[in-house]
Structure 1
Amino acid sequence: MDFKIKRLKLLNALSKTTKAVSIRSPLPVLTGIKFDLQENCLILTGSDSDITIQTRIEKDENLIINQTGGVVLNSRYILDIVRKIDSDEISIHTIDGALTRISGSNSKFDLNGTDILDYPRIDLSKTGTKVLLNSLILKDIISQTKFAASDKENKPILTGINFKATNHQLECTATDSYRLAKKIVSLDEDVTFNITIPQKSLDEISKIIESDEMIEMYVSDRKVLYVFNNNIIQTRLIDGSFPDTNRLIPDSFNYELDLDTHYLLNAIDRVSLLTNEQNNIIKLDMDPDKIVLSSYMQEIGSVEEILDNAFYKGEPLSISFSSKYANDAIRAFNEPKIKILFTGEMKPFIIKDYEKDDVIQLVLPVRTF
């Protein structure tokens, strides 16, 4: 293997593929990045068996190929070398077996690699149900739902985001049993599937999306493949049935609070100042004449804020909830105004955009004495 490449071009590709690599992998070869230099391109692959990221660099003025071949290089060291080497162009070639020389204008590194044949074969074929999805819509889906997924492994299915397609519609849902986030988007294709993708894998995919483009999504029984802009990302699916969350979402409401998104976020921030991570409960007291947000901790003190820029419809109502959960839910909206819909004091409440219904956030209240 022997090639010359622009440093920033290689750095960008390595930054993507290393996102799939785990330094704690039980298979030592998977702590590396596979370099596969072909006649017309360089293909970089990183994987931890849960997620695989492959990036392709085409042969052009940025990539000069002298001799094809391949090697697996430790992801941490090769990324650091390429990041810190002081040169616009880098030469990389294997010297003896898997020993690889990386050189710039004044620097030379010899890095021990692994034979490319030792890298496990990963099937990245485009099989399964095909769906076209705009990259920015996928990014929105992930950002508007991921925070509601569970971080506890005792219920693995809840650590993912559920993608359910039917009747030209895709419902994406995450829940940890205490809150729920749902995003609904329209599909051109009339396809049917119900899969749950690990939240961590989707988070890495979101970081790789750089521009507004169409993504090809291939859904199979055990994996899903994303293809876009010289990148192929494959992630395993979580086994099991995702709970039917539609029955948790009320369809009629007796109370409604309308207000500005940033105004409420700032108020929650101030009222949360006298709470802590273990006990971040705040209280909302509402009637048509006065709306008050407050918190009280016996060992710290209390705070009260009147929301005079809010509009409330309904009988008097008091409800307590986690300021963190409410804050996460409200931040998911990119619109200036939201509405909060209630059915009762100890019933889940819904947060929606003031005009659209494509994003639904549900938060469970907390009993306070």
Structure 2
Amino acid sequence: MKLKMSRLVLLDEISKANKIIDAKIINPELLGVHLEITNDAIIFLSSNGGVNWKATINKKTDPFLEIQEVGTLLIKGRYLIEVLRKIEENLVELSVVEENQLVIKTDKVRFSLQILNADDYPLIGFRENGVELKLNPSELRKGINQTIISIDEYNKKIIFTGMNLQGVSGDNFLKIFTTDGFRISTKNISLTTPLTEDVEFTLSFKLLGELIRLLDGCKELVIYLFEGYITFVFNQNSLLQTTLIEGKYPNVANAFPKSFPTTLKLGRTTFLKALNRANLTNEEGNTPVVVLDIDQERIELSSTSLEIGNYAETLTNFEFEGEPQKISFNIKYLLDAFRTFDHEEVVVGLISSVKPLEISSLKDEGIDTTLKQLVLPLSIG
């Protein structure tokens, strides 16, 4: 095996593939990144046994690519990453010598790394068929960031450790749902083409972290759903495949109220600053409770920390409609929820001191229902 290519392209692809690998995995062959060098492309493979990664580099993605000899290579990615970061030249030459060493050369430097036996690497099949979903990558990434706050990664019920996505045949959007039992997030994300059938699937918390990273800068995204598997195709040349979380996700959509006795319209930034001032977190990191006493004249915020002291503040710049309310919350949940919104004006709906508060954003044309946050109150008593 022998080739020349851009150092930065190689570093980027090896880094992506290596991120998938789990250093604690039992199968030693899966500790390496597998490279298959053909006459016109390099195929990168990596896996942790549950998540599989595949990327293809050719002349379109790397104009400097020059394949002189085909072959296969299995190498521990982190060692190659360290070498590539130390090299300053743009072009690198890679060649396998004596079947157990990879030589990385430039005009000035030469490195030699031990490699694994590529013949021992397991055969990985990638599914690129089934129900096809085409999404805007940046919109999906934003939706994940706005709703991931409500996932309990360590919940004993596996279904609650993930993000649920649902769609109805004929619709041109998917609904995201997440919940940890104390709060619920929902967000609509648009599809490039309408759904041809109903879909519902749940993605793991760990996978969502990978997706946030991989979707950054992605221009084109296609998703395939097939018999408990999901395959993400990024920019037509990189694939991420994994199994879906099994089980029926609870119908959390019914938890969102249809009407509210009390409605507030207020500035997000002003309210966030007040919540931050109320956040009297002690040295143990315990989050305080904030009490909201609301009527048509003012919003009174108060919190108490036995180790630190008390806080009270009155806000008057808001619109009020309905009945007075007194309600208390875990302040972290409110802070997380308000931070997910982009628009300055938000709408807050309240029912009672024991019913959830709902937050949505306000646009020029009315209330934006594509993102909603539901937060369960605490008992004032």
Give the TM-score normalised by the residue count of structure 2: 0.92
In the alignment, does 2:192 pair up with 1:185? no
Q: How far off is 1:211 after superposition? A: 3.6
RMSD in angstroms over aligned alpha carbons?
1.7
What is the Cα deviation at residue 130 of structure 1? 0.6
Q: 2:354 matched to 1:352?
A: no
Inter-partner Cα distance in structure 1 for 2:331 and 2:45: 41
Instruction: Write the distance in 2 (CA, Å) between the matches of 1:43 and 1:61.
Output: 16
- Within the candidate set 203, 211, 216, 1:205 is matched to 211
What's the counterpart of residue 13 of structure 1? 13
Contact 2:288/2:305 (<8 A) preserved: no
- Kept in 1: contact 2:218–2:234 (CA 8 A): no
Number of the residue aligned with 1:214 = 220
Quote the residue 1:288 is aligned against. Answer: 296
* Counterpart contact for 1:16–1:55, Cα < 8 Å: no
Change (3 A) 1:280 1:51: farther
Deviation (angstroms), 1:212? 6.1
* Correspondences of 1:5-154 after superposition (within 5 Å): 5-59=5-59, 61-154=63-156
Q: Is the 8 A contact 1:86 1:104 kept in 2?
A: no
Structure 2 CA distance for partners of 1:192 and 1:14, relative to 1, 3 Å: same
Quick one: which of 272, 275, 292 aligns to 1:268? 275
Q: Deviations over 1:95-149 (max 9, x none)?
A: 1223211223433222222222222222113121011111111112211111211
Cα distance per residue 1:132-172 (max 9 Å; x no partner): 11111111221111121111151211111111111414111
CA distance in 1, matches of 2:350, 2:50: 40
Q: Which residue of 2 aligns with 1:310?
A: 318
1:225 equivalent among 224, 231, 234: 231
Q: Distance in 1 between matches of 2:30 and 2:297?
A: 62
> What residue ranges of structure 2 are gaps of 5+ in the alignment?
none
CA positional deviation for 1:363: 0.8
Please tell me whether the aligned partners of residues 205 and 233 of structure 1 are also in contact (alpha carbons under 8 angstroms). no
Task: Report the Cα offset of residue 278 of structure 1.
Answer: 2.3
TM-superposed deviation, 1:360: 1.1
Match in the other structure for 2:374: 362
How many angstroms apart in 2 are the aligned matches of 1:256 and 1:130?
40
Native 8 Å contact 1:271 1:282 kept in 2: yes
Contact kept? 2:329, 2:377, Cα under 8 Å: yes
- 1:296-329 CA deviation, whole Å, 9 max, x = no partner? 1123211112222222222221111122111111
Measured in 1, the distance between the counterparts of 2:357 and 2:370 equals 16
Please state if 1:170 is matched with 2:174: yes
Q: Kindly indicate whether the alpha-carbon contact (under 8 Å) linking 1:262 and 1:336 is maintained by their aligned counterparts in 2.
A: yes
Give the total of aligned pairs: 369
Equivalent residue letter for 1:53: W
Query: Match of 1:155?
Result: 157
Q: Mapping of 1:326-341 within 5 angstroms?
A: 326-341=334-349
User: Structure 1 283/84 Cα, relative in aligned 2: closer, same or farther at 3 Å?
Assistant: farther
Question: What is residue 285 of structure 2 aligned with on the other side?
Answer: 277
Letter in 2 for 1:337: E
Work out the CA distance in 2 between the residues paired with 1:335 and 1:62: 44
Q: Which runs of 5+ in 1 are unaligned?
A: none
Question: Structure 1 residue runs of 4+, over 6 Å off?
Answer: none
Could you tell me how far apart the structure 1 residues matched to 2:43 and 2:218 are?
A: 23
Cα distance in structure 1, aligned partners of 2:79 and 2:217: 28
Q: What letter corresponds to residue 38 of structure 1 in structure 2?
A: T
2:18 and 2:176 map into 1 onto residues whose CA distance is: 27
- 1:98 and 1:309 map into 2 onto residues whose CA distance is 71
- CA distance, structure 2, for counterparts of residue 34 and residue 277 of structure 1: 44
Residues in 1 aligned to 2:64 and 2:274: alpha-carbon distance in whole angstroms: 51
